[in-house]
């Protein structure tokens, strides 16, 4: 007989699973983060009181395993095949002709799906619980990355109950991937912390799945879409269309952008449309996959070596170009990290002229054997910065120069250290001119003081001529000095002076980002500004106060307290304030909106949603996606959704746009 407590625990788990599902799979949250956290904590508390009742598929057990020494091999019961590629409409038509001929029919129905650019994996569910998960590997042998896959919120630890029977065995396959914005956000944090950045979403997904410590994986923004099966027992599925439906019924995440095509023409039109549409998606897709819909027909078609005859990947041309490397230089970043960069003969890549491409680090240059003077293929796919794909060694004349990482900093001649646990090398000198230049560029960048016209070329001259050693000195520059710079006419000098002058009034959030505190990206700066309201409160904040903020962990806390404990940093800030920098509405920032929770619905006529959200956050308030009993205000714009009704039923205060404006301007 199940005890009362047992039932209570299971009921809580079901509720949490339900919210996980609607949030991470359907992307339609119903409760606030705080409500979710409270359910989660209740479960954690009950489980800690009754450890014998903890099950491996409990939502609390995502990050449980301790670090592994390596990955075991898992043999896929049914090999995971790869796909043949088609690069043109003609090749897709040829695929269809082959299919029709082999089946002896005139037309075949297909399912066309986006082809995601991530890492393909297989999950094995036994009696509804996630038992194992592995990478594709060579198709037959994959790596056991179960502990890492369990940390991905869109992967259910247990299949969802619905009208579809839970299969006794379900091997489901799909792609683990990262969204573009998540890559940028993570890179921003890593850059601020002095860690090397990930060059594209696929590398981030692959690197995160291969972490030995699942706690690291759990901090990475991984998601999964499911699109295929291996072995299945207990249910029968006869087409791709049905498969996608069954998988979503079982709580697995399926990409909704697929299309059932009655013939290849519709598949081709999906391919053509998608080539444009993919640019506005939140994730990278490098093509479409066109698959015969009926499984019975797939069986007849069979496979050749490593790919099935019943599917084709319609790929989009990678954005590549061929050019010559003039030289390989080493760039020193704001945090001192050294990056080899290829200086190229300029070449156009999809409308943009490219003259440099990153080589990431020394190991990569060596592995790819890239030399100065080489002809190379460069590419911009999901990449943040164009990169060198490979050298075309057949063009070598023998005059090419292999790359050697300098033994001292190319900018200041100081010692270089290899950062522990990474391939990155770093200059140890905090006064290194290259580091100073990059920190000034960061300071004046869009997310910081946003000084138009202060790019790297001007900064180089200012630093090299000894005119600016610290960002604060930008505010002391005069017209005469600026005109003396190369390629700076009187008009540009005046514009720059005006831009510098106007930038002096800045929000606390931007200031915190601009001064370059390690680990503080835009997001963290916003949270800190909303919480503390004034710079002096943040400066004197204790570790305990910082740690009490849910989004702030121990390493950010240490970065902040170390930063303000350093006398030199305090001088930098004092100088900025002495030079006339003024923090906009500092006192007002912490005030009437602290801890107030807002939900927006509909369009606001006089400001964008982003602006409204920023205003609320700057005033210490919070914005959530859905209305709950914890919501303080629902701001109703034009064409509101169902949130208004929900607010009314919960008795939450509804504000018109005018009332909202009056509230934030108080
Ligand atoms: S179906 C045998 N569907 O593309 C066919 N694959 O080049 C099994 N991929 O290894 C794959 N999106 O990693 C399929 N919607 C999709 C896909 C997809 C991405 C990847 C997958 C596969 C590779 C083949």
C-beta 13 within 6 A of ligand 1: no
Angle at the Cα of 649 (from 643 to 652), degrees rounded to 5? 70
Q: Ligand 1 centre and the CA of 115: distance in Å?
A: 6
Q: Ligand 1 centre and the CA of 302: distance in Å?
A: 16
Beta bridge partners of 490: none
Closest residue CA from atom 9 of ligand 1: 115
Could you tell me the two tokens for 406? 């300098």
- Which residue among 138, 226, 227 has the greatest number of ligand 1 atoms within 8 angstroms of its CB, and so is best to mutate? 227
Indicate which atom in ligand 1 lies nearest the CA of residue 288: 15
Could you tell me the two tokens for 310? 């019943």
Could you tell me the two tokens for 48? 């800690």
Backbone angles phi, psi at 198, to 5 degrees: -85, 140
The DSSP bridge pattern shows strands 85-86 and 311-315 to be: parallel
**Cα–Cα distance for residue pair 319/378, rounded to 1 Å:** 8
User: For residues 84 and 312, is the Cβ–Cβ distance under 8 A?
Assistant: yes
- Please report where in the chains the tokens 């080589």 appear, as a residue: 359
Indicate which atom in ligand 1 lies nearest the CA of residue 115: 12
- Which residue among 313, 315, 316, 382 has the greatest number of ligand 1 atoms within 8 angstroms of its CB, and so is best to mutate? 313
Alpha helices in 105-221 (DSSP H): 146-149, 180-192, 201-209, 214-218
- Which residue among 82, 243, 290 has the greatest number of ligand 1 atoms within 8 angstroms of its CB, and so is best to mutate? 82
**Cα–Cα distance for residue pair 631/622, rounded to 1 Å:** 9
C-beta 228 within 6 A of ligand 1: yes
User: For residues 531 and 508, is the Cβ–Cβ distance under 8 A?
Assistant: no
Is 588 a residue whose pLDDT tops 70?
A: no
Q: Ligand 1 centre and the CA of 289: distance in Å?
A: 7
User: For residues 225 and 177, is the Cβ–Cβ distance under 8 A?
Assistant: yes
Is 590 a residue whose pLDDT tops 80?
A: no
Please give the C-alpha separations between residue 295 and each of 109, 301, 311, 326, in angstroms, as whole numbers.
11, 10, 12, 54
Which of 324, 265, 254, 264 shows the shortest CA–CA distance to 291? 264
Other beta carbons within 10 angstroms of residue 11's beta carbon come to 11
**Cα–Cα distance for residue pair 116/84, rounded to 1 Å:** 15
**Cα–Cα distance for residue pair 273/31, rounded to 1 Å:** 36
Tell me the per-residue pLDDT of 461-491, one tens digit each, with 9 for 90 and over. 999 999 998 899 999 899 999 999 998 999 9
Mean pLDDT, rounded, for 378-391: 82
C-beta 652 within 6 A of ligand 1: no
Is 644 a residue whose pLDDT tops 90?
A: no
Which of 607, 658, 651 shows the shortest CA–CA distance to 628? 651
Indicate which atom in ligand 1 lies nearest the CA of residue 113: 15
**Cα–Cα distance for residue pair 196/335, rounded to 1 Å:** 10
C-beta 113 within 6 A of ligand 1: yes
Other beta carbons within 10 angstroms of residue 357's beta carbon come to 24
**411 confidence band (pLDDT: 50, 70, 90):** very high
C-beta 199 within 6 A of ligand 1: no
Catalytic residue list? 115
Closest residue CA from atom 13 of ligand 1: 120
H/E stretch holding 170 reads strand 169-178
* CB contact burial 233-256 (16+ within 10 A = b; e otherwise): eeeebebbeebbebbbebbbbbbe
Beta bridge partners of 427: 416
C-beta 290 within 6 A of ligand 1: no
Mean pLDDT, rounded, for 215-234: 96
C-beta 308 within 6 A of ligand 1: yes
**Cα–Cα distance for residue pair 190/559, rounded to 1 Å:** 13
Closest residue CA from atom 10 of ligand 1: 82
Tell me the per-residue pLDDT of 114-145, one tens digit each, with 9 for 90 and over. 999 899 999 999 999 999 999 998 899 999 99
- Which residue among 115, 136, 315 has the greatest number of ligand 1 atoms within 8 angstroms of its CB, and so is best to mutate? 115
Mean pLDDT, rounded, for 627-642: 86
Is 514 a residue whose pLDDT tops 70?
A: yes
Q: Ligand 1 centre and the CA of 110: distance in Å?
A: 15
Average pLDDT, the chain: 90
Which of 425, 403, 449 shows the shortest CA–CA distance to 584? 449
Of 233-237, 253-257, 415-419, the poorest mean pLDDT is in: 415-419
Closest residue CA from atom 11 of ligand 1: 82
Indicate which atom in ligand 1 lies nearest the CA of residue 136: 10
Could you tell me the two tokens for 140? 């037959």
Indicate which atom in ligand 1 lies nearest the CA of residue 291: 1
By CB atoms closer than 10 A (0-12, 13-18, 19+), residue 352 is: exposed
**Cα–Cα distance for residue pair 565/59, rounded to 1 Å:** 40
What per-residue confidence (pLDDT) applies to 632? Answer: 92
**Cα–Cα distance for residue pair 231/65, rounded to 1 Å:** 26
Is 293 a residue whose pLDDT tops 50?
A: yes
Indicate which atom in ligand 1 lies nearest the CA of residue 118: 13
What per-residue confidence (pLDDT) applies to 589? Answer: 46
Which domains are delineated in the chain?
Answer: 4-61 (1.10.287.610), 85-315 (3.30.470.30), 320-426 (2.40.50.140), 433-583 (1.10.150.20), 590-664 (3.40.50.10190)
Q: Ligand 1 centre and the CA of 111: distance in Å?
A: 13
Is 637 a residue whose pLDDT tops 50?
A: yes
User: For residues 111 and 240, is the Cβ–Cβ distance under 8 A?
Assistant: yes
Of 47-56, 190-199, 434-443, the poorest mean pLDDT is in: 190-199
User: For residues 580 and 475, is the Cβ–Cβ distance under 8 A?
Assistant: yes
**Cα–Cα distance for residue pair 617/89, rounded to 1 Å:** 49
What per-residue confidence (pLDDT) applies to 354? Answer: 87
**197 confidence band (pLDDT: 50, 70, 90):** confident
Closest residue CA from atom 2 of ligand 1: 81
C-beta 175 within 6 A of ligand 1: yes
**Cα–Cα distance for residue pair 521/30, rounded to 1 Å:** 29
Is 219 a residue whose pLDDT tops 60?
A: yes
**Cα–Cα distance for residue pair 85/313, rounded to 1 Å:** 5
Is 605 a residue whose pLDDT tops 70?
A: yes
As a residue count, the chain comes to 666
Is 20 a residue whose pLDDT tops 70?
A: yes
Q: Ligand 1 centre and the CA of 139: distance in Å?
A: 12
In the sheet that 311-315 helps form, which strands lie side by side, from edge to edge? Answer: 85-86, 311-315, 285-292, 110-116, 259-261
Q: Ligand 1 centre and the CA of 367: distance in Å?
A: 27
Is 33 a residue whose pLDDT tops 60?
A: yes
Which of 448, 444, 446, 472 shows the shortest CA–CA distance to 459? 444
C-beta 289 within 6 A of ligand 1: yes
C-beta 120 within 6 A of ligand 1: yes
Indicate which atom in ligand 1 lies nearest the CA of residue 82: 24
Beta bridge partners of 282: none
**Cα–Cα distance for residue pair 324/530, rounded to 1 Å:** 49
Beta bridge partners of 288: 114, 314
Tell me the per-residue pLDDT of 338-364, one tens digit each, with 9 for 90 and over. 999 999 998 887 667 889 998 988 888
Is 414 a residue whose pLDDT tops 60?
A: yes
**639 confidence band (pLDDT: 50, 70, 90):** confident
Handedness of CA 639, 645, 648, 652 (dihedral sign): negative
Q: At what angle do helices 433-444 and 456-464 cross, to 10 degrees?
A: 140
Per the model's pLDDT, the better-predicted residue between 415 and 28 turns out to be 415
C-beta 82 within 6 A of ligand 1: yes
Each as own residue / partner, the long-range contacts of residues 630-634 (CB below 8 Å, 24 or more positions apart, any chain) are 630/32, 630/34, 630/35, 630/597, 631/32, 631/597, 631/598, 631/599, 632/596, 632/597, 632/598, 633/596, 633/597, 633/598, 633/599, 633/660, 633/663, 634/598, 634/599, 634/600, 634/601
- Please report where in the chains the tokens 């001929």 appear, as a residue: 101
Other beta carbons within 10 angstroms of residue 305's beta carbon come to 6
């Amino acid at each position: 007989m199940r005890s009362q407590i047992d039932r209570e625990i299971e009921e809580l788990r079901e509720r949490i699973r339900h919210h996980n599902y609607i949030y991470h799979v359907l992307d339609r949250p119903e409760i606030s983060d705080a409500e979710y956290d409270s359910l989660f904590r209740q479960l954690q508390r009950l489980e800690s009181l009754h450890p014998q009742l903890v099950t491996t598929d409990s939502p609390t057990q995502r990050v449980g395993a301790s670090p592994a020494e390596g990955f075991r091999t898992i043999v896929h019961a049914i090999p995971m095949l790869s796909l043949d590629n088609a690069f043109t409409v003609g090749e897709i038509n040829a695929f269809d002709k082959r299919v029709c001929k082999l089946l002896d029919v005139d037309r075949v129905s297909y399912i066309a799906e986006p082809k995601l650019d991530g890492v393909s994996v297989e999950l094995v569910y036994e009696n509804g619980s996630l038992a194992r998960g592995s990478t594709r590997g060579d198709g037959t042998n994959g790596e056991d990355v179960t502990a890492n896959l369990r940390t991905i919120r869109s992967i259910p630890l247990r299949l969802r109950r619905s009208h579809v029977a839970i299969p006794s065995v379900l091997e489901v396959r799909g792609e683990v991937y990262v969204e573009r914005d998540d890559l940028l956000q993570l890179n921003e944090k890593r850059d601020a912390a002095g860690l090397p950045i990930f060059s594209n979403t696929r590398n981030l997904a692959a690197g995160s799945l291969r972490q030995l410590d699942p706690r690291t994986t759990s901090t990475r923004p991984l998601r999964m879409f499911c699109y295929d099966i291996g072995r299945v027992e207990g249910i029968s599925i006869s087409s791709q269309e049905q498969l996608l439906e069954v998988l979503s019924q079982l709580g697995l995440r399926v990409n909704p952008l697929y299309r059932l095509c009655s013939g290849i023409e519709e598949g081709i039109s999906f391919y053509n449309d998608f080539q444009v549409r993919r640019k506005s998606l939140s994730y990278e897709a490098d093509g479409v996959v066109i698959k015969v819909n009926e499984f019975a027909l797939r069986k007849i078609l069979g496979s050749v070596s490593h790919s099935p005859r019943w599917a084709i990947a319609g790929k989009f041309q990678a954005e590549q170009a061929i050019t010559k490397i003039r030289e390989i230089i080493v760039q020193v970043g704001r945090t001192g990290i050294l990056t080899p960069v290829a200086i190229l003969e300029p070449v156009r890549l999809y409308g943009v002229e490219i003259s440099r491409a990153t080589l990431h680090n020394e190991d990569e240059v060596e592995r790819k054997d890239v030399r100065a003077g080489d002809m190379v293929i460069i590419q911009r796919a999901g990449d943040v910065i164009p990169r060198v794909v490979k050298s075309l060694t057949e063009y070598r004349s023998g005059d090419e120069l292999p790359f050697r990482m300098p033994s001292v900093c190319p900018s200041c001649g100081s010692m270089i250290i290899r950062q522990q646990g990474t391939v990155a090398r770093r200059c140890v000198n905090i006064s290194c001119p290259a580091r100073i230049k990059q920190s000034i560029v960061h300071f004046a960048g869009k997310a910081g003081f946003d000084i138009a016209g202060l790019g790297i070329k001007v900064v180089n001259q200012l630093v090299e001529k000894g005119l600016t050693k610290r960002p604060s000195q930008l505010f002391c520059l005069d017209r005469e000095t600026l005109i003396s710079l190369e390629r700076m006419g009187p008009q540009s000098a005046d514009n720059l002076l005006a831009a510098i002058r106007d930038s002096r009034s800045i929000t606390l959030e931007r200031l915190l980002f601009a001064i370059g505190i390690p680990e503080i990206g835009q997001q963290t700066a916003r949270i800190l500004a909303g919480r503390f309201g004034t710079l002096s409160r943040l400066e004197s904040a204790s570790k305990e106060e910082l740690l009490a903020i849910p989004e702030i962990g121990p390493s950010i806390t240490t970065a902040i307290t170390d930063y303000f404990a350093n006398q030199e940093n305090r001088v930098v800030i004092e100088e900025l304030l002495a030079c006339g920098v003024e923090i906009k509405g500092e006192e007002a920032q912490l005030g009437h909106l602290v801890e107030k929770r807002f939900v927006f619905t509909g369009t606001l006529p006089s400001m964008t949603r982003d602006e409204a959200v920023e205003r609320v956050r700057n005033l210490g308030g919070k914005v959530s996606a859905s209305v709950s009993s914890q919501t303080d205000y629902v701001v109703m714009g034009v064409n509101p959704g169902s949130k208004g009704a929900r607010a009314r039923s919960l008795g939450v205060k509804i504000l018109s746009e005018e009332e909202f404006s009056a509230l934030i301007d108080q």
